[in-house]
Homo-oligomer: A and B are copies of this chain.
Amino acid sequence: MNAASKPMIIGVGMTEFGRHLTRPVRDLAGEAIRLALADAALSIGDIQMVYFGNATQGATEGQGSIRGQVVLRHLGFEGIGVVNVENACATGATALIEAAKAVRAGACDIALAVGVEKMVFEDRGKMAGVFEGGMDVTRIDQTIADMAALGNGVTVPDDFTGMAQYSPFMDVYAGLGRMHMREYGTTIEQIAAVAAKNHQNSVLNPHAQYRRGMTVEEVLNARGVTYPLTVAMCAPVSDGAAAAIVCSPAVARRRGLCGRALAIEGTALRSGVDRDPRDLDRHISALTAHDAYAAAGMGPGDMSLAEVHDATAVGEIMQIEHLGFCPRGEGGPYSARGATRIDGRIPVNPSGGLEAKGHPIGATGLGQIYELATQLRGEAGARQVAQARFGIAENGGGVLGAEEAVCAVTILSAPAKGL
């Protein structure tokens, strides 16, 4: 992609991620959209196309098919193109990538990507079975058993019950984690170091769900969910929304918005790779990251920071390997020695990540974009990464390592000086 055709992000907005018991989808989405419009100094009438991401509203509220249209009409949007998109936990990044595509195709000047999820209900039964909808429903038990079996040969301590109660995906991550321990000698202390770093980062992020610093010991001593994961290593159930506004470089220039605009240097989207889940070099995330680097004409060494899909701390260890920040198998010691901290070699999840910032499914990928934008503009305050120039976001969905996986990677650059 040549520089002149690279779409730009000119505004971002997000709600606090967390428990918003009384706020429906439309209210959460509305807040993120209004904040993004204000950030870009645009009004509703400037938006010509909307990509609306949500994964669970059909199951929890019965609102299907026209989720975006219903939200947008309440906000005052009228007569524009709206596409409802869904890609499991990678829904938010998918919405952004499609908005960028619409701009690049010349289908519109200015597009809005929004992701929203409402997952916390007084009636917990509302979410029963919803997570399973992100797996192939004809073989959920088999998928979980297959993924758990990847970790065979690792002894599970008595204080881990062995099965996650709130999401089958935790068992998938546990299997991958035990595989990583067996194959590369990764330790539970190294995994805990990832979680502790993320919880510590979240203290500095006003949008984060937890904002409660934890030491490695506290992470290890938290309730055991499914070995090697304690509850402090797992993303919570969250409500929230995030949005980003995309336009062409020409429109950004014409409107005088380049001073705070982030160029989308490269994007990539892939789904399930039919292979042996133990062959990590052919992992969907590794292939998708490779595509995004190629599109941007960059490599891992160019990145100033990353937001990665740490639905569990095991995920972060594997994703930093897939992104090429450290050699295969060294994610554990690399993390434990501080290379991913805000003052480390390449800071990872300065926002607190999914583990501490929260994980409202459809909003998560755009929440990552919000953090990259904030950091690359130098507006991240106490959690600011020094000299942030290029940032990468990796947003995953489906069953990591199985054939129905999704991965979306986006590389952004800081506002160019003197434009």
* A residues 46-71 touching B (CB-CB < 8 Å): 55-56, 58-59, 61-70
User: What residues on B are CB-neighbors of A62 within 8 Å?
Assistant: 59, 129, 132-133, 137
Copies in the complex: 2
User: What residues on B are CB-neighbors of A64 within 8 Å?
Assistant: 55-56, 58-59, 86, 88, 130, 133-134
Does A81 sit within 8 A of B, measured CB to CB? yes
Does A105 sit within 8 A of B, measured CB to CB? yes
Contact between A83 and B98, CB atoms less than 8 A apart = yes
Does A195 sit within 8 A of B, measured CB to CB? no
Contact between A398 and B66, CB atoms less than 8 A apart = yes
* A residues 130-150 touching B (CB-CB < 8 Å): 130, 132-138
Q: Which of A270-278, A301-309, A343-351 contacts B (4 or more CB under 8 A)?
A: A270-278
Interface string of A385-410 (1 = CB under 8 A from B): 00000000000011000011110000
Known: A78-B272, A101-B107, A270-B80. Contact between A55 and B63, CB under 8 A?
no
**Out of B101, B138, B272, B275, which one reaches A105, CB within 8 Å?**
B101
User: Which residue of B has the minimal Cβ distance to A103?
Assistant: B105
Does A269 sit within 8 A of B, measured CB to CB? yes
Does A231 sit within 8 A of B, measured CB to CB? no
Does A188 sit within 8 A of B, measured CB to CB? no
User: Which residue of B has the minimal Cβ distance to A95?
Assistant: B83
- Chain A, interface residues (CB within 8 Å), range: 35 or more
**Out of B69, B273, B284, B398, which one reaches A271, CB within 8 Å?**
B69
**Out of B78, B137, B287, which one reaches A63, CB within 8 Å?**
B137
Does A280 sit within 8 A of B, measured CB to CB? no
Does A102 sit within 8 A of B, measured CB to CB? yes
- Interface centre among A61, A81, A135, by most chain B C-beta atoms within 10 angstroms, is A81
Contact between B404 and A70, CB atoms less than 8 A apart = yes
* A residues 241-279 touching B (CB-CB < 8 Å): 268-275
Taken together as a complex, chains A and B put the C-alpha atoms of A111 and B67 apart, in Å, by 25
User: What residues on B are CB-neighbors of A78 within 8 Å?
Assistant: 272-275, 403
User: Which residue of B has the minimal Cβ distance to A361?
Assistant: B65
Contact between B133 and A63, CB atoms less than 8 A apart = yes
User: Which residue of B has the minimal Cβ distance to A362?
Assistant: B65
Taken together as a complex, chains A and B put the C-alpha atoms of A192 and B68 apart, in Å, by 35
User: What residues on B are CB-neighbors of A102 within 8 Å?
Assistant: 101, 105
A-B contact pairs, 6 of them (CB 8 A): A64-B134, A66-B397, A67-B86, A78-B275, A82-B269, A82-B406
Rank and list the top 8 A-B pairs by shortest CB-CB distance, nearest first: A64-B133, A81-B269, A65-B88, A104-B105, A105-B105, A82-B271, A73-B403, A78-B274
Extra pairs beyond A61-B137, A72-B271 (4, CB < 8 Å): A79-B274, A81-B269, A82-B271, A101-B102
